[in-house]
A and B are shown apart, each in its own frame.
Chain A
Amino acid sequence: MYEKIDLAVADGLATLTLNAPDKLNAVSRKMIAELKECWEGLANDASVRAVLLTGAGRGFCAGADLADPDREASAAADSGAALDKFFNPVIRTMRAMPKPIVAAVNGVAAGVGMSFAMAADIAVAAKSASFLQAFARIGLLPDGGSTWFLPRLVGDARARALAMLAPQISAEQARQWGLIWDVVEDTELMKTATELARRLADGPTLSLARIKEAMNRASGNPLAAQLDVERDFQRELGRSADFKEGVAAFLAKRKPTFKGK
């Protein structure tokens, strides 16, 4: 059982809820240790076909908990150690796991909380949510992969300004800039995000996994190499049961029933 997070799995969909609402789900050492264990478990659990990530209460995640006594003791000595041991493995696991992650950003996503939202495959935010690269305000640089995600999502020029000036931006602005997929009314967020995640959990898991991996590789590949990646992945997918089902359903004009195989 976890203390700072909450995990519920039902019919292939795992819902992971950051659960320190009195601190806007700021990440304590305890929470990140639990997150690491939890994400690794979800990555390895073949029965889980999609993950929905959200926050309890009015915040999504306020970033690292600067008041966490565990942090204060070690941060002055080595703020790289926590990244190496916990945060970076979490981000790597989120990006590498062969299943889609949906983030339902229910409130402020600051610092590494914003990194978690960007590391998800599809982020949907409540209209009242906001995004903030808070790091420079305390003399740090964006971490949790933010210096890599930002220029790829919003372009190099905006990325520099967001990181250096640390402005708080609205969910609507984030959508316009391509930082997130969609914005919905606050009261609709969990319904919309859960439907989306459910649809993905019931979807062709191998195809979704290969889409994710191809996009991961695209950011470093020349087009010529990417065409080869597509050829190889498509060959593999063309031999899957879900592909056979998809084609059969298409030809019979019925809804496909995918099994993730």
Chain B
Amino acid sequence: MGDIAKETPLKAALDGGVLTLTLNRPERLNAMSQELIGLIIEQLDRALAESAVRAVLITGTGRGFCAGADLAGTGMGTVTGADGKPDLGIVIERLYNPMIRAIRELPRPVIAAVNGVAAGGGANLALACDIVLAARSARFDQAFVRISLMPDLGGTWLLPHAVGDARARALGMLGTSVPAEEAERMGMVWQVADDDMLMAEAMQLARRLASGPTLAYAAIKRAINAAATNTLDQQLDLERDSQRALGRSADCKEGVAAFLAKRPAQFTGQ
């Protein structure tokens, strides 16, 4: 038997304005190696730089979405600090946090198609996306406490902001595995799709967003990011400034004209 060519841990494909990123370590349920996260960050940088990318779709190969940090091999567990002791903070600082920040700050919609188990950091990678579709058989699992850690990749922030403080505490402390339908009911994810329809529905959504008013989506994202810490008073001013800028965009002119003419709008992202 000859050598099996090493497959890339992240597949990236740009089509119709949608950049699809597929976590591709199915034998490890797409657990996050350092290499995988480095590649995700690289592609998010590309999405930021290339105007042809108007939406990003993140999903996984095989039966899992992402099993979280790879505790074996080249994962975070093996990294030691200057004192020779294990230092989980190094990989978080260098890879995990930049990835989550890049998703939240990217001025394009980011969709997650959660095709199977999303555990630990894998769950929070999904929850950091703007719109999450989950296969009916998928699960969201804040597994950290089972190995005496706490949720990271933004989990301690994302959870209370999505499902409320009371549920967030229980999920974090109990490490409960939440089935997709329950996750939808509590507002953790946007919608559940039948397993065999997930990718079609997620791609349809991504294409719709990729042909939508990109500047408006970017402004919505920025505004909702800011809303978490702004007072209502500050937020009203932010809306005023953003709306002023959007009101002068070509897409807004087209949107209003199309609305008045009762025809579908043709947005260009400008």
B-binding residues in A (CB < 8 A): 66-67, 75-76, 78-81, 83-84, 88, 91-92, 95, 135-148, 150-152, 154-161, 163-165, 177, 216, 219-220
Contacts and interface: CB of A to CB of B under 8 A. Distances in A.
Contacts of A83: 236, 239-240, 243-244
Given A157-B189, A158-B187, A165-B131, A136 B232 contact: no
B190 A140 contact: no
B236 A88 contact: yes
B187 A150 contact: no
A151 B230 CA distance: 12
B252 A151 contact: no
B256 A66 contact: yes
B255 A139 contact: yes
Contacts of A79: 243-244, 246-248, 252
Interface string B199-224: 00000010011001101110111011
6 contacts: A92-B233, A141-B246, A150-B227, A155-B161, A161-B131, A164-B209
B107 interface: no
A259 B64 CA distance: 62
A147 B235 contact: yes
Chain B interface, DSSP helix/strand/loop, else mixed: helix
A84 B246 CA distance: 15
Nearest to B231: A220
Interface stretch (B13-21, B116-124, B172-180, B259-267): B259-267
Interface of B: 109, 127, 130-132, 158, 161-164, 187-191, 205, 208-209, 212-213, 215-217, 219-221, 223-224, 227-233, 235-249, 251-256, 258-260, 265, 267
Contacts of A164: 109, 130-131, 209, 212, 217, 220-221
Given A76-B248, A76-B253, A145-B232, A155 B242 contact: no
B112 to A, nearest CB: 10
A91 B236 contact: yes
B18 to A, nearest CB: 14
A39 to B, nearest CB: 14
A216 B243 CA distance: 24
Chain A to chain B: the 7 pairs with minimum beta-carbon distance, closest first: A80-B244, A79-B247, A138-B255, A139-B252, A139-B213, A139-B251, A147-B223
Contacts of B251: 139
Given A161-B190, A164-B130, A155 B224 contact: no
Given A66-B256, A80-B244, A138 B217 contact: no
A145 B235 CA distance: 7
Nearest to B229: A220
B223 A141 contact: yes
A66 B239 CA distance: 18
Contact of B216 (A136, A154, A219): A136
A145 B239 contact: yes
Contacts of B228: 151, 156
Contacts of B249: 139
B161 A151 contact: yes
Given A147-B239, A160-B131, A216-B232, A155 B162 contact: yes
B244 A92 contact: no
B66 to A, nearest CB: 17
Contacts of B130: 160-161, 164
A157 B240 contact: no
A138 B191 CA distance: 24
Contacts of A148: 227, 230, 232, 235-236
Given A147-B235, A155-B187, A135 B248 contact: no
B256 A138 contact: yes
Given A160-B220, A164-B221, 13 more contacts: A79-B243, A135-B216, A141-B223, A142-B223, A145-B236, A148-B227, A155-B161, A157-B188, A157-B189, A158-B162, A158-B187, A216-B232, A219-B231
Contacts of B162: 155-158
B131 A139 contact: no
B190 A158 contact: yes
Nearest to B252: A139
A32 B241 CA distance: 19
A139 B246 contact: yes
B260 A136 contact: no
A219 B234 CA distance: 13
Contacts of B231: 219-220
